[in-house]
Structure 1
Amino acid sequence: MPQQVAVITGAGAGIGRATARTLARAGCDVALIGRNLDRLGDAAAELRELNIRTHIACADVADAKAVEQAAEEIEDVLGPITLWINCAGATVTGQLAALDADEIRRATEVTYLGTVNGTRAALARMRRRGHGTIVNLDRLASLRPPPLQAVENGARAAVRAFSESLRPEILHDGDRIHIAMVHLPAINTPRFSWTRNHTGKHLKPMGPVYEPEIAAEAICRAAFGRERDIWVGLSGVRNWVLSTFVPGLSDRWLAGKGYARQMEKVAVTGDEPDDLYKTVPGAYAAHGRFDMITRKAMPLLLTTRHAQFATVAAFMGFVLFALRRRRH
């Protein structure tokens, strides 16, 4: 593999930090973008032990000028950017009626516009050379987009539509720039401890929970395998079937069980810090506090090719079934 310069947003903790380690082990030089300079410094120190070059840039991804400046600085220090991964995100949890308009705007700016700003900065540089890879993250909902998380669900849907719309633009211009989407289930990151929370209870992940290293592996496979989409685990197929054919039933289930599955029994005190506007102090890394319930084994990673094969197989099965009925 030729020398790669990878940029990761939201690299100070969670999925971004795990992805940085995975890319460094693959031999990439890694640039880390985030808001917390101390955590970025800790992450960079880990990576230097792997004998690769690193650079940190403190920037809020919701600020397009700051992201542009960080990208320019990274290329000055490390060289041409070949891989850009948008991991940064922030959200607010609670019933929509209880949320403040400014909170909704800020969460959307970080998660959706942060991805847009990162993608624009990457494209501006990759198009000079005609090639590169950008990886964006989607949320793989358990059954259907759950209640209490309308803001993040809306932002992730926007990221998905944005990425789909961008692909034909790149094809039209003839650039060899690859846009990959990784659809992730619940991941054990510190976000459950620092998300702005209006539920009154401590938050917990819903559905099967995986470690950040599994998300990092899926991201790297999407990047280096030139995959269009990767879905982590089989639950995505099951959830699509259920939400498509029995939407009313799934809505009723989420209206009841969907609330309890996202909250612990312990009430919050009301003064917990959150990362919506400012970073939360402390030595957070990739993992959150749910190591005891995470699934350690690598799940199936379903790619676009798998989906195409399944579609063709289903169609052929339908044709054979119809022909057999016609003979009888």
Structure 2
Amino acid sequence: MQLKAISEQVVAVVGASSGIGRETALQFAKRGAKLVVSARSESGLKSLVEEIKSFGGDATFVIADVSDFEQVKAIADYTVSHYGRLDTWVHCPATAVFATFDNTTPEEFKRVIDVSLMGQVYGAMAALPHLKREGRGALIHVSSVEGRRALPYQSSYSSAKHGVEGFLEALRVELEHEKYPISVTSIKPSVINTPFYNNGRTKLGVKPTGIPPYYDASIVADAILYTAENPTRDFIVGDVGKILDVLQRLSPGLVDQILLLVGFQFQKTNEPKSEDAPDNLYEPIPAHDKVEGDFGNLEIPTFTDWLDKNPPLKWGALAAAALGVAAVLGWHPGNDV
């Protein structure tokens, strides 16, 4: 499967007014892609397009709420009418309610699902006809490590991300069966320093936070741009996310015990915040139309993402590690089994 160079692509980035989506749009534009950016926040989209044009990039915007299929379809249709085609669809929007399950209302749970799962579904539905007509392309969906392991206080968000993983797996196989050269990627970020924790509705009595450490949004954007040129099934962003994924595969019960120790107190700051405080569950918050969140002091670098973008070196390193373990255990090639 061969994807176009980014400089030759027309890209739609949905959820681009802030956080990962905004940083991703900026990076695509700097690499020469033509862009349609979308979100609910008109002010955020205008400032983003102005920033892109300030360094010579080519971008336009569409205001849309991803919980409405017709509005999502309008993004894809406008991209094709404006630029003549669609090569890559990047879908980022998500919202959250930080609360115990029994303190989450049916309406709140459904709204998180409508935005964070059904929005992703609508994105794929809207983009696919255009990608099929083009004969190739990439669907890149920003999921989460929570698509592999759910966290307390985030039952609705974790449910949405598990759902994203399910529909992408089914879709990927269907496209392979139909022999369409369309790459379907799930990007699974660890805890990222974006306005996500400012925007979410909280019933914890305080401003919520991710379980540290944090990573910079740029590493997620780097992974997205990599998968826009290199067909990739899954990309877990951040070393901690990869460790959590391995632990979950080995022993979910062990992860339960770890989360009992850190999953509750480490998702709470000391900053009081009422559940009546502004949140983006139904309306955008223009003040948060930026890439960074409030936890830059907790950011650390990542090391293993580079290996994921260099598969030969990654598998070589794994083989060397396996041989090292075998040597410690006294095994070497040729030993009778």
Q: Distance in 1 between matches of 2:62 and 2:212?
A: 34
Q: Distance in 1 between matches of 2:170 and 2:288?
A: 38
Q: Which amino acid aligns with 1:257?
A: V
Q: Distance in 1 between matches of 2:331 and 2:193?
A: 48
Match of 2:235 in 1: 230
Q: Distance in 1 between matches of 2:271 and 2:264?
A: 14
* Aligned CA-pair RMSD: 2.7
The offset of 1:235, in angstroms, is 2.5
Assess if the C-alpha contact under 8 Å between 1:19 and 1:213 holds in 2. yes
- Unpaired segments ≥5 residues, structure 1: none
Question: Structure 1 residue 241 and structure 2 residue 246: aligned?
Answer: yes
Match of 2:292 in 1: 287
Assess if the C-alpha contact under 8 Å between 2:187 and 2:236 holds in 1. yes
Q: Distance in 1 between matches of 2:316 and 2:110?
A: 40
Q: Distance in 2 between matches of 1:35 and 1:289?
A: 22
Match of 2:264, SS state, is helix
- Note the 1:57-136 alignment, pairs <5 A: 57-136=62-141
Q: 1:192/1:223 Cα in 2 relative to 1: closer, same or farther (>3 Å)? A: same
Q: Distance in 2 between matches of 1:169 and 1:248?
A: 33
Deviates more, 1:197-206 or 1:247-256: 247-256
1:180-226 CA deviation, whole Å, 9 max, x = no partner?
A: 12121111111111101111111112132011111111111111122
Q: 1:246/1:67 Cα in 2 relative to 1: closer, same or farther (>3 Å)? A: closer
Percent identity of the aligned residues?
27
Match of 1:265 in 2: 270
Q: Distance in 1 between matches of 2:320 and 2:162?
A: 28
Deviates more, 1:36-45 or 1:277-286: 277-286
Assess if the C-alpha contact under 8 Å between 1:11 and 1:34 holds in 2. yes
Q: Distance in 2 between matches of 1:68 and 1:203?
A: 33
Deviates more, 1:130-139 or 1:308-317: 308-317
Question: Structure 1 residue 39 and structure 2 residue 44: aligned?
Answer: yes
1:8-56 CA deviation, whole Å, 9 max, x = no partner?
A: 1110001000000000011001111100111110011001123222111
Q: Which amino acid aligns with 2:304?
A: L
The offset of 1:176, in angstroms, is 1.3
Question: Structure 1 residue 182 and structure 2 residue 182: aligned?
Answer: no
Q: Distance in 2 between matches of 1:318 and 1:290?
A: 38
- Unpaired segments ≥5 residues, structure 2: none
- Number of matched pairs: 327
Q: 1:308/1:181 Cα in 2 relative to 1: closer, same or farther (>3 Å)? A: farther
Q: 1:299 aligns with which of 296, 303, 309?
A: 303
TM-score with structure 1 setting the length: 0.90
The offset of 1:119, in angstroms, is 1.0
